[in-house]
Structure 1
């Protein structure tokens, strides 16, 4: 019984410090809200501690994250998102010839292909590649400022132009519109 009573009084002694910490956190939250609204909602967890540091208040990133999360303050992203794959919903799906078996003994039998977006100074560039699974090497590639079907066609022609493809060769790719086009 004495142990319970002493724990209660120990807890009671911490109340003023807890209330003081809560008050200082509420003031900090108001400063964070002000910084957040000044940035038109753009500043999130990485920038808020830096902005507070410029005013002379040092705060850790994790503390800022906790305070912002508890008070539902979120930064927004104004970046333009690029969808990497735009499926052609009207195209008939081609059969899965590779069957997710990416191990091959002979070169020129199974190929995989994909398009990657590369950030440039002003815009994005598209790089298409075709890889021979047996040799694990790129046999065709092309870079362009568009991702139309001609890009994929050029890559496939380059891969076939090397002359190492077998008559039973099959190619695997995602079902993006470039790969399902007539070309």
Structure 2
């Protein structure tokens, strides 16, 4: 079954291309064919390239300067950000060697950034490592690659699964030890802990889910909610999401400046445009005014979707989508923008890259046997 993509999705991919992402990177991150991306660029790109005012010499000099700045910035980001304030010389040399071998940065640039003599580094490099050192160095490279690929979100358990998938026989404790030596750790968040509630369920708005977050097939149980995101220019923006409980995939999401019924209707419409639903689909939400509105429930009835509600004031009845929004804020929003996004557009682009480029396509879920939602749905198809 071919994947359907909305116009909004296509335009966002083109927007990412215009901000500097290569077609090959977009193809890898979002699981798209290069030819498909080029087709979308031809249709949706509004960018006009004008080089008439720049000579070939000027262009070459600018590229050299940009490459130098890019290399120095990447060195600082990937190396210094992971070093403790006080580390041994051996750790610094090991970091230089790792960055040189992994990212092909020049030794001269690395030594200048770390403020160490090249002669001292080469002396360290020429010492004969033990077989255990060699094996650990190799594992550290694979661990760091997995860590960076996950956006620094993976901890030892998921990196351990990554290594096993690549054929490495190594214990989780050893992965933890090597991560400590590298000075890296996952972005930690508190686990969601459901508690009991004594509040009764109203007959008018029943809780059909009853905290049973398992599903036997795709499109059997959906959960939805709205969360707030602050931006500096546009103040509060509102993210509406729908998650399929079988695959844990975010099947539809919309960002809006207004938290109204139209926002949740657009999100539901987006889900229905890309999913083939069957009978007995349950959609679970809280009892917010958007979800209890006549317009929303009429739309559900027209598509033969049964509405289930959380008890008032009890977020644990909808803990899966609540947990997703908490994860998104910890791994994406707070990690990238502690002071808030610049504006609505920068917020949207960041959410798109996280949800479509990482969470759905690459983030491993323990409940899915450490597969990503997209990988899991391919097996279920």
**What TM-score, normalized by structure 1, do the two folds share?**
0.48
Q: Which structure is higher in strand share?
A: 1
**What TM-score, normalized by structure 2, do the two folds share?**
0.24
Report which structure shows greater RCO (CA 8 Å, sep ≥6).
1
